[in-house]
């Protein structure tokens, strides 16, 4: 990806994070799910060479991905969406619904969608299913690795411009998809700024409030929308029409 979508500033939470990438910490364990053997093997070789990442397994389709997660319990799954038997959307939905006994100690694995096309309608569906973000296969491996680390640390990966283009290609849902009456005016403000890819500290600076206040608003937004994570909340905001393609804050 070129332009602003590829910059670290476009990744929510994807700035410089020594703590997340320090070799002293336990490496992030990763499962790669892709039906193309050459792509899968190449990603494994390249990502295994990145600091802070241990590739623990591979899967050729969604069914195998679910099985391998149960067996290997990775922190993150790098999930292709167009796969046989069970696509990445259904696999993501299934993984995030797994009972705690079969999930990693910190809960279900984080899912990062990896795709060839940024306007892939499957990606928004996967984000709605609970994926924490997406990356393009053509990105440099160091950016894919950083996405894996950031998501493992509990944050989300947003490429706002690409997300706007994807949602713009889909018909808007009903306004009732977003219970706007349940959100306060300030919570709507926070959601709109989340949709531009701003981090919590940047939102706090924009609204001239404390970081703790922003965290509270973000938590309230996720709860009221029933969103899996902030990426899912942004998808809901776009698809409901609260935020329209072209909005920049």
Tell me: the pLDDT tens digits for 196-248? 778 888 899 999 999 999 999 999 998 888 887 888 888 888 777 777 655 55
Pairwise CA distance, residues 58 & 51, whole Å: 19
* Cβ(187)–Cβ(224) below 8 Å: yes
| pLDDT value for 169 | 63
Indicate the range of 42-56, 113-127, 157-171, 233-247 predicted with least confidence: 157-171
Question: In the predicted model, is pLDDT for residue 9 greater than 90?
Answer: no
Picking from 96, 82, 74, the residue whose alpha carbon sits closest to that of residue 34 is: 82
What integer best gives the mean pLDDT of the chain? 79
Give dist(CA 169, CA 246) in Å, integer: 13
Token duo for residue 57:
């397994």
| Cα distance between the two ends of the chain | 22
- pLDDT recorded at residue 197: 77
Flag whether pLDDT at 179 surpasses 70.
Answer: no
What is the mean predicted confidence (pLDDT) over 33-51? 94
Q: Residues of the chain with pLDDT > 70: what percent?
A: 73
Q: Which residues contact 115 (CB under 8 A, 6 or more apart)?
A: 80, 81, 122, 123, 134, 135, 136, 137
Residue 210 burial (CB < 10 Å; 0-12/13-18/19+)? exposed
Residue 180 tokens read as: 């706007």
Is the pLDDT confidence value at 44 over 90? yes
Tokens, residue 189: 């403000």
Task: Tell me whether strands 133-136 and 28-33 are parallel, antiparallel or unpaired.
Answer: unpaired
Residues in the chain, how many? 249
Most confidently modeled of 7-11, 157-161, 174-178, 187-191?
Answer: 187-191
> What's the rounded Cα separation, in Å, for the pair 229 and 128?
9
The stretch 86-114 carries a mean pLDDT of 78
Portion of the chain with pLDDT greater than 90, in percent? 37
pLDDT at 245: 55
Range scoring the smallest mean pLDDT among 65-74, 97-106, 156-165, 178-187: 97-106
């Amino acid at each position: 990806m070129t332009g602003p979508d590829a910059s670290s500033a476009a990744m929510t939470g994807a700035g410089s994070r020594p703590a997340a990438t320090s070799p002293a910490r336990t490496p992030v364990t990763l499962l790669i799910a892709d039906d193309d053997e050459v792509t899968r093997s190449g990603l494994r070789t390249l990502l295994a060479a990145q600091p802070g990442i241990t590739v623990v397994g591979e899967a050729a389709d969604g069914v195998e991905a679910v099985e391998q997660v149960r067996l290997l319990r990775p922190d993150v799954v790098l999930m292709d969406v167009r796969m046989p038997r069970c696509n990445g959307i259904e696999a993501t939905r299934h993984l995030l619904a797994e009972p705690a006994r079969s999930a990693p100690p910190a809960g279900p694995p984080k899912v990062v969608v990896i795709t060839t096309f940024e306007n892939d309608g499957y990606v928004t569906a996967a984000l709605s299913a609970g994926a924490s973000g997406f990356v393009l296969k053509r990105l440099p491996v160091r950016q894919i690795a950083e996405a894996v680390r950031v998501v493992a640390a509990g944050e989300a990966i947003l490429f706002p411009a690409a997300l706007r283009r994807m949602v713009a290609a889909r018909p808007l849902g009903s306004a009732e998809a977003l219970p706007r009456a349940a959100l306060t005016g300030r919570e709507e403000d926070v959601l709109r700024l989340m949709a531009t890819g701003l981090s919590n500290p940047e939102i706090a600076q924009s609204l001239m409030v404390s970081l703790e206040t922003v965290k509270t608003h973000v938590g309230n937004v996720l709860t009221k929308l029933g969103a899996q994570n902030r990426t899912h909340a942004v998808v809901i905001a776009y698809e409901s029409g609260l935020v329209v393609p072209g909005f920049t804050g």
